[in-house]
């Protein structure tokens, strides 16, 4: 029996840390795995589902016999599993994002198209 309800959902202005705490609560509430390997496999599965939804979004051909995909739901699934994996490995995603962006902001980006010379 789940203890979380709609009233427990993060509010619209919730911080990334608050959302990550909510994912920790739902992980415990639903008895989801705390195994890093199992969760990483699940993350790749959810990314695959997101890829399928993006294929449909882009109008690419797809097998109509495959189950329905919903782009919003697939983005949410990926975020939930990613934050769950961060919780298992005790990574504060807000702090990680800020630390990495500080590195990225000082980095010089040299983006080129495929087969284009630097
Ligand atoms: Mg999914």
Domain extent, residue 33, equals: 27-105
Q: Please give the model's pTM, rounded to 2 decimal places.
A: 0.84
CATH code where residue 48 lies: 1.10.287.1080
**Cα 49 to ligand 1 centroid, rounded to whole Å:** 5
Q: Which residues contact 27 (CB under 8 A, 6 or more apart)?
A: 34, 84, 87
Digit-coded pLDDT (tens) for 29-60: 999 999 999 999 999 999 999 999 999 899 98
**Local confidence band at 106 (pLDDT 50, 70, 90 cut-offs):** very high
Task: Report the alpha-carbon distance of residue 52 to residue 59 in Å, rounded.
Answer: 11
**Cα 81 to ligand 1 centroid, rounded to whole Å:** 10
**Cα 118 to ligand 1 centroid, rounded to whole Å:** 38
116 falls within a domain: no
Q: How many domains does the chain have?
A: 1
**Cα 65 to ligand 1 centroid, rounded to whole Å:** 17
């Amino acid at each position: 029996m789940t203890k979380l309800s709609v009233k427990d959902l993060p509010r619209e202005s919730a911080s990334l840390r608050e959302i990550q705490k909510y994912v920790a609560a739902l992980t415990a509430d639903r008895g989801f795995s705390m195994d890093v390997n199992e969760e990483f496999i699940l993350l790749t599965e959810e990314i695959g589902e997101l890829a399928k939804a993006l294929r449909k979004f882009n109008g690419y051909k797809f097998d109509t016999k495959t189950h329905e995909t919903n782009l919003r739901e697939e983005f949410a699934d990926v975020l939930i599993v990613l934050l769950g994996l961060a919780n298992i490995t005790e990574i504060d995603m807000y702090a990680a994002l800020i630390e990495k962006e500080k590195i990225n902001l000082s980095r010089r980006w040299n983006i080129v198209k495929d087969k284009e010379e630097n």
